[in-house]
Amino acid sequence: MGLRRTALALGFGCFALAGCQVFAPPPPPPPTVRPAAFTALGVSAPYLYADVIAGRKARAAKMKAAKIRPLSAGAAPAYMAELENELRQQTAGIGIDVLRVGSNLLIRIPAAFTFDPGSAAVKPQTDATLLEIARTVKTKNQTFVDVLAHTDTSGSPEVNQALSTKRAAAVATYLGTHGVTKARIASKGLGESSPLYNPDVSETQKAANRRIEIRLVPYTG
């Protein structure tokens, strides 16, 4: 009888453990995959391959006056690769894209991280994100820094152009007040002229079009 009770007790314990395993929490869902069209369209837009804002000659003169030494042509690729690696590590998993565009780098920040709808005031909760970007951009000072702002297609082109110009200037000011040499920075609003999605029908598409981009271009003199 004693052996039978022991066997029954062990059997019940095994059943209980098996039951616990059945109710174990499911694994987390895989990360959401962004539509392929987003990135493909985002790195082929002509404006990304244009000269730096206000022209390289004028910008280089400001860099020289700020005593920033230019990169040699041979050193630029390794310099930009190191910068890219640092930025990717800093922004991993937070919804910010670091894209290679030719010899340049593009940091693409959804407007949800920076501005409320219709506003050009940088949101306080964005400080941590922009501050991390500023720290790396500050130390890697042999680059031009172009800040580009975009809107969706809601509203009039004139209102969108004015809003994007203010937003670009706000982010440029933020970078300048957090250690990035002001001689390196220029800003420009592009309004609704360069959407990632066209037309932008869904709110997801509109939110993607409302974005800030920081373009880093190697300063080679």
Highest mean pLDDT among 15-19, 117-121, 170-174, 194-198: 170-174
Predicted confidence (pLDDT) at residue 176 exceeds the cutoff of 90: yes
pLDDT, residue 198, reads 86
pLDDT, residue 1, reads 52
pLDDT over 90 percentage in the chain: 55
Written as one string, the DSSP assignment of the chain is -HHHHHHHHHHHHHHHHHHHHHTPPPPPPPPPPPPHHHHHHHTT-GGGGSPPTT-HHHHHHHHHHTTPPPPPTTTHHHHHHHHHHHHHHHHTTTT-EEEEETTEEEEEEEGGGT--TT--SPPGGGHHHHHHHHHHHHHS-SEEEEEEE---SSS-HHHHHHHHHHHHHHHHHHHHHTT--GGGEEEEE-TTSS-SSSS--SHHHHHHHSEEEEEEEE---
Q: What's the rounded mean pLDDT across residues 39-53?
A: 83
Q: What's the rounded mean pLDDT across residues 146-172?
A: 95
37-218 homologous superfamily? OmpA-like domain (3.30.1330.60)
State pTM to two decimals: 0.81
pLDDT, residue 114, reads 82
